[in-house]
Amino acid sequence: MSDAIRVGVIGAGYWGPNLVRNFFEAPGAEVVAVCDLAQERLDAIRKRYPSVRTTRDHRELIADRAIDALCVVTPVSTHERLAGEALRAGKHVLVEKPLAATVAEAESLVALARAQDRTLMVGHTFVYNPAVMKVREILRSGKVGDVYYVDSQRVNLGLHQFDINVLWDLGPHDVSIVLYWLEAEPDWVACMGASYIQSSIEDVVFLEMGFPSGALAHAHLSWLAPGKRRTMTVVGSKQMVVYDDVEVAEKVKVFDQGVERMDPDELRRSYRAGDTYAPRIAATEALQLEVRDFIQAIRSGRPAVADGEAGLRVVRVLEAAMRSLREKGSRVPYREKVRA
Amino acid sequence: MSDAIRVGVIGAGYWGPNLVRNFFEAPGAEVVAVCDLAQERLDAIRKRYPSVRTTRDHRELIADRAIDALCVVTPVSTHERLAGEALRAGKHVLVEKPLAATVAEAESLVALARAQDRTLMVGHTFVYNPAVMKVREILRSGKVGDVYYVDSQRVNLGLHQFDINVLWDLGPHDVSIVLYWLEAEPDWVACMGASYIQSSIEDVVFLEMGFPSGALAHAHLSWLAPGKRRTMTVVGSKQMVVYDDVEVAEKVKVFDQGVERMDPDELRRSYRAGDTYAPRIAATEALQLEVRDFIQAIRSGRPAVADGEAGLRVVRVLEAAMRSLREKGSRVPYREKVRA
Amino acid sequence: MSDAIRVGVIGAGYWGPNLVRNFFEAPGAEVVAVCDLAQERLDAIRKRYPSVRTTRDHRELIADRAIDALCVVTPVSTHERLAGEALRAGKHVLVEKPLAATVAEAESLVALARAQDRTLMVGHTFVYNPAVMKVREILRSGKVGDVYYVDSQRVNLGLHQFDINVLWDLGPHDVSIVLYWLEAEPDWVACMGASYIQSSIEDVVFLEMGFPSGALAHAHLSWLAPGKRRTMTVVGSKQMVVYDDVEVAEKVKVFDQGVERMDPDELRRSYRAGDTYAPRIAATEALQLEVRDFIQAIRSGRPAVADGEAGLRVVRVLEAAMRSLREKGSRVPYREKVRA
Amino acid sequence: MSDAIRVGVIGAGYWGPNLVRNFFEAPGAEVVAVCDLAQERLDAIRKRYPSVRTTRDHRELIADRAIDALCVVTPVSTHERLAGEALRAGKHVLVEKPLAATVAEAESLVALARAQDRTLMVGHTFVYNPAVMKVREILRSGKVGDVYYVDSQRVNLGLHQFDINVLWDLGPHDVSIVLYWLEAEPDWVACMGASYIQSSIEDVVFLEMGFPSGALAHAHLSWLAPGKRRTMTVVGSKQMVVYDDVEVAEKVKVFDQGVERMDPDELRRSYRAGDTYAPRIAATEALQLEVRDFIQAIRSGRPAVADGEAGLRVVRVLEAAMRSLREKGSRVPYREKVRA
């Protein structure tokens, strides 16, 4: 394994150790160093992976020429600075989602990666989730027909962040999934929300996106709910698909029913409830597929599915949504008009 | 039963026969006449209730001095005219929801009922639903704390109306329930939606209401969904309550968990998941309780729970929501400012 | 409707009124008379169906030559006597399940119906349930392969009978369904149970049947359970089918997975979890289909699906199960050896 | 951590690595050596835990005087021999369930542990499951009243064992839980089953136990089912409790409803459906609690909850059940009568 990709991880909080474990399980890579400000986190890593070097100074990892790739698993506000340093030092970089705190920062990272000819990837783990991939496959097959709308519920109790609101915390999941499924960017974004627990940090938001095809996406994101819910419904002209990530046995269900267009002579629309069908979903861990895509992108030079561009698109939606939030929910264009 | 209230029913489509049956089952009332334009509906009524007189001309019922009360179970556009005729003829009137097609019409009915000193009631059946009543009882007990927001999902496949959109079809349920629970009127209303099956008749809408207390209500209403969903979640500062009308065994569930206000030294909010509790809900049919409230309101002269004023408040919300819909979702005040 | 079949109903307790309603809704039949010992039940019938004659003396119905068919909806101990009188008087007869209290009684009714050339039917309502019929269709298609076993859960709280145990109360459902699905009679029957609430009236039993094919059926019947459960699982060599009558949306689900026969070199069997599929089930009321089958059997002379023979087979199982119950669960042959 | 208990693990198949991980996470213990016949399993252990010594010869672990405790995680047929060797070498021993293949073997291990004054423990993980512990707490509180019966469903597709049947594979879970809850040993055992996939290895069994109090326990164990089910229902005279291990949010639910004893004047028992209540269950991993109990038992000398005696009781039930299985389901006494 002498030509394994040598990986460093900056940030060993909740998510970092998952990345470490997955790089250890993936062929063709090994974690050589982990950095965190908290010594007890580093101790925990070392107890589990005695061969891994640990440090509290991320510059050691940036400077280490033996490290090929760096994972940035730190608060959003630091993404641009840390990922930028790593790219400039010639590393390939995997940044946790969202890619950056602003569109400007995300654009700068994308440009920098291109200039340095390095792989830039963002941790949109859900686009590597086998159930999410199965839904895209179903949508591509054409059986669902035209997509009318996508409705998403992503709520649960607790884990309020103190530095970002629920839109930036949970929203990247829904936005990255919807853009991946529809293979399109929205025309406009609207967002409404409220802050109940911490002033000026929204814990409940309703996000809308309108697409060129006429499709609509709606997401209810909340830290304030009685239980975990992770349900996305795709309503198409021919079929409907429900993806419920909390469901154990049937994560994806296809409803073979549609609505016929109106017959003006009938008082009520016919109600055609058909069969339902739940395809088998592979049990592979999404993060493992993500890590492998990163490794292959580095080796082959081709972009990862969740490449920097994908990360930038999600940040664009979030930034537009923030503006809508401040304007009490009015529609905001996805792309700013070019300023003269 | 010589002093039973004698009831006539105008409209024998889907809902009318349910009213007929419930008046037959309620003590102190009897259905004496049913009117509909379709002869086969009248035949079906007569086969089931041979003692009931049937006619295709509603004026017969209006003119019949032996009839004490009339139910108007016809398309919304006809409510004001038919209920108005009935009130002017001195009848007590139960109008199917929504009370009328416009605020002006609803106001005129309320004023007319007051002038004629007759009982005017609207068929907000859900405020007589034992599960909905249990939630109000729980909210009034104070255990839930301050209500942060109410989220409602009322979706299912099919039964597209041809004369009204999904807001006017399903919205009266959510709006009447939320106003009944919060015992308040909203400050503003916002609504976004789209028409997929019939042009310019929205089949999917998202409705928001903002209340003086800061509470927010959000409802997803749709005729385009893979299955029936009737879930309303009340998030309070101390507890949360879920009312799921599709659930057989546990229609109301109380989550004894809240969120503590932020400790600035902690990185993440504490996550306190507590016990859950499902109170027993009486199995009484809501429509039976509604019919009995109508009878008692007539006898006692006191307003029904779902009186004309309640009907008017719901129409105010719907009319404001329609305006917001045309303005692409911007907030609209619940009460028009007085125009100079 | 002068040639409609004229029906009388003996017994207007819980189930009788359902039969009355369904005969009124079925084409080609009308209920002309209802008998019950309790006057208030007769009053309730008459309030709803003013054209129906009521009486407290069942002999009036037996003697009435204008009545073509009688339904016997009385306690089991009276079935043989009442159905016998009706057959002897030349009536067609529908007896509520189980057909009779003993094999001897059931045999005598079957013989009498044959001698009188009248239709004898038993109210095995579940074999007219569209979901149960769909499972038989699936089994007949061969896709399920060999049936290994059927497991049934039929439990709920309450409604303890005072005259019969839970085996005779709930067992006819499971036994009639299993015999209908497997199209076979068992070789042996075993039954174990206990009486908790009323001494010597079992409220919990476990029933087993062994079939010539090697298939096994197991049923857990109980009046003592925290909630209603109506689940039957068919395990076949190629597929498995679950029928859950409590489920609203997916009453029948097919699991496209089987188990491969053992490879001696492998430590563990391969685990092949495949797709699942839920066929659309018609919403027709089973009792309506039952009533129509009764009418058609009378008109055509062909046996009903739930004819006297079907009723006799179920009583054979129940009687054998009672013997096993007294023998603490040992296996008892389905058919008594011929006594010399 | 110089006085940490030094643990060796024999068997690194499916379960062994879970034990290794849990000993690493538990305070006061460390895994020093792992043995398995398969080199690739040892390689996997070493990749993850480079400090752990590995070997294919279990005698190295037995002989190592630096090892305080050994875990035997091998096929049942080898338990008595390996655990016996370890005890004789003065080690404390944790044996995977079931403790041994026969009552005689289990008795010999219990006696040996006593003679050697060592801790003998069996891996009845479920008695360390927080939900199972909560049910015992509820039962001990007396609120449930007399326990009438326990019904258990433990089924799923696949993972057929080649050396033991489903009774020995899944049965130890149900039996250990029921004995732990009822704090009693059964009077008799009955068991019925069938072999569909491998001849003479039952893949479906129904197990019954009768207790001195009159309580009954019934378990449906199967490798042949369309999905995983892990539901145990305790029916008591005052309340009922359901423990569903597959359920994420409400693993334990208490039904505050019972059945009143019969009133001879009533035709039907009153049906009292009350509130339901789901206590919060700690999320601690059962295996972690098991491992800690082992460590504390070693340190303190007091027996573990799942001590050798508990293991012996479960083997007694399984052996009796095997005899009943061969006798086609007839009742077999839990303890053999002393043969003269």
Min Cα distance C143 → chain A (Å) is 16
- Across B246-250, average pLDDT: 85
Residue for token pair 């309790």: C38
DSSP state of A189: E
**Whether C255 and D226 lie within 8 Å, measured CB to CB:** yes
**Tokens linked to C185:** 């009679």
pLDDT at site A283: 84
pLDDT at site B160: 67
Count each helix (H run) and each strand (E run) in chain D, helices first: 9, 15
Substitution target from A14, A41, A135, A148 for chain B, most B beta carbons within 10 A: A148
Residues in chain B: 340
Residue A300 near residue A156, CB atoms below 8 Å:
no
**Whether D277 and B277 lie within 8 Å, measured CB to CB:** yes
Of A223, A271, A330, the CB nearest to B159: A271
How does pLDDT run across C313-340, given as a tens digit for each residue?
A: 999 999 999 999 999 999 999 987 545 4
Give the integer Cα–Cα distance in Å for B121 and B293: 9
Q: How confident is the model at residue D62 (pLDDT cuts 50, 70, 90)?
A: very high
Contacts of A249 in chain D (CB under 8 A): 227-228
Substitution target from D134, D275, D281, D284 for chain B, most B beta carbons within 10 A: D275
Is residue B181 predicted with pLDDT exceeding 60?
Answer: yes
How does pLDDT run across C89-114, given as a tens digit for each residue?
A: 999 999 999 999 999 999 999 999 99
Look up residue D106 and give its amino acid.
Answer: A
Contacts of D50 in chain A (CB under 8 A): 50-51
Contacts of D227 in chain A (CB under 8 A): 249
Task: Please provide residue B242's backbone torsions phi and psi, each rounded to the nearest 5 degrees.
Answer: -115, 130
Burial of C167 (0-12, 13-18, 19+ CB in 10 A): buried
Q: How confident is the model at residue C158 (pLDDT cuts 50, 70, 90)?
A: low
Q: How far is CA B254 from CA A85, A277, B130, B257, B279, in A?
A: 50, 33, 15, 9, 8
pLDDT at site D2: 52
Number of Cβ pairs < 8 A linking chain B and chain D: 24
Tell me the pLDDT of chain D averaged across its residues: 91
Burial of D137 (0-12, 13-18, 19+ CB in 10 A): exposed
For A22, name the nearest residue in chain D, comparing CA atoms only: D48
Contacts of D274 in chain B (CB under 8 A): 280
Min Cα distance C240 → chain D (Å) is 6
DSSP state of B217: E
Instruction: Say whether the peptide bond before residue D98 is cis (omega within 30 degrees of 0).
Output: yes
Extended strands (E) in D138-284: 147-155, 188-194, 204-210, 216-222, 229-236, 240-244, 252-255, 276-278
Of B159, B241, B267, the CB nearest to A269: B159
Is residue B266 predicted with pLDDT exceeding 50?
Answer: no
How does pLDDT run across D113-137, given as a tens digit for each residue?
A: 999 999 999 999 999 999 999 999 9
How does pLDDT run across B307-326, given as a tens digit for each residue?
A: 999 999 999 999 999 999 99
How does pLDDT run across D141-169, given as a tens digit for each residue?
A: 999 999 999 999 999 876 667 789 999 99
Substitution target from A76, A222, A259, A263 for chain B, most B beta carbons within 10 A: A259
pLDDT at site A160: 67
For B201, name the nearest residue in chain A, comparing CA atoms only: A262
Min Cα distance C5 → chain D (Å) is 33
Is residue C267 predicted with pLDDT exceeding 50?
Answer: no
Contacts of D224 in chain C (CB under 8 A): 148-149, 235, 240, 259
The residues on A that touch C, with CB distances below 8 Å, are: 249-250, 273-280
Number of Cβ pairs < 8 A linking chain C and chain D: 162
Of D249, D275, D280, the CB nearest to B278: D275
Min Cα distance B135 → chain A (Å) is 15
Contacts of B204 in chain A (CB under 8 A): 148-149, 216, 235
Give the integer Cα–Cα distance in Å for A166 and B220: 20
Among C200-209, C211-220, C267-276, D50-59, the range scoring the smallest mean pLDDT is C267-276
**Whether D50 and A51 lie within 8 Å, measured CB to CB:** yes
Chains in touch with D (3+ beta-carbon pairs under 8 Å) read A, B, C
Neighbours of B185 (CB within 10 A): 14
pLDDT at site C337: 58
pLDDT at site C159: 65
pLDDT at site C157: 74
pLDDT at site B159: 65
Q: How confident is the model at residue C266 (pLDDT cuts 50, 70, 90)?
A: very low
Number of Cβ pairs < 8 A linking chain A and chain B: 162
Task: Please provide residue A71's backbone torsions phi and psi, each rounded to the nearest 5 degrees.
Answer: -105, 130
What is the H or E stretch that residue B166 is in? Answer: helix B166-182
Burial of A282 (0-12, 13-18, 19+ CB in 10 A): exposed
How does pLDDT run across C50-93, given as a tens digit for each residue?
A: 789 999 999 999 999 999 999 999 999 999 999 999 999 999 99
How does pLDDT run across C237-258, given as a tens digit for each residue?
A: 999 999 999 888 889 999 987 6
User: Which mean pLDDT values do the consecutive 10-residue runs of chain A (340 residues) have?
Assistant: 85 93 90 95 85 94 97 96 98 98 98 98 98 98 95 83 89 98 97 90 95 96 89 94 90 79 43 78 93 97 97 98 95 74
Region label for B220, one of left (φ > 0), alpha (ψ between -120 and 50) or beta (otherwise)? beta
**Whether B328 and A331 lie within 8 Å, measured CB to CB:** yes
Is residue B41 predicted with pLDDT exceeding 80?
Answer: yes
Give the integer Cα–Cα distance in Å for D186 and D233: 18
**Whether A277 and C279 lie within 8 Å, measured CB to CB:** no
Of A240, A272, A330, the CB nearest to B330: A330
Is residue D56 predicted with pLDDT exceeding 90?
Answer: yes
**Whether A277 and C277 lie within 8 Å, measured CB to CB:** yes
Min Cα distance A255 → chain C (Å) is 10
pLDDT at site A228: 86
Contacts of A279 in chain C (CB under 8 A): 275
Min Cα distance A28 → chain C (Å) is 29
pLDDT at site A226: 86
Among B222-236, B272-286, D266-280, the range scoring the smallest mean pLDDT is D266-280
Of C197, C227, C235, the CB nearest to D224: C235
The model's pTM is: 0.89
Q: How confident is the model at residue C270 (pLDDT cuts 50, 70, 90)?
A: very low
Burial of A2 (0-12, 13-18, 19+ CB in 10 A): exposed
Task: Please provide residue D87's backbone torsions phi and psi, each rounded to the nearest 5 degrees.
Answer: -60, -45
- Across D197-210, average pLDDT: 92
Residues in chain A: 340
Min Cα distance C50 → chain B (Å) is 7
Contacts of B249 in chain D (CB under 8 A): 276
Tell me the pLDDT of chain C averaged across its residues: 91
Of A197, A208, A220, the CB nearest to B261: A197
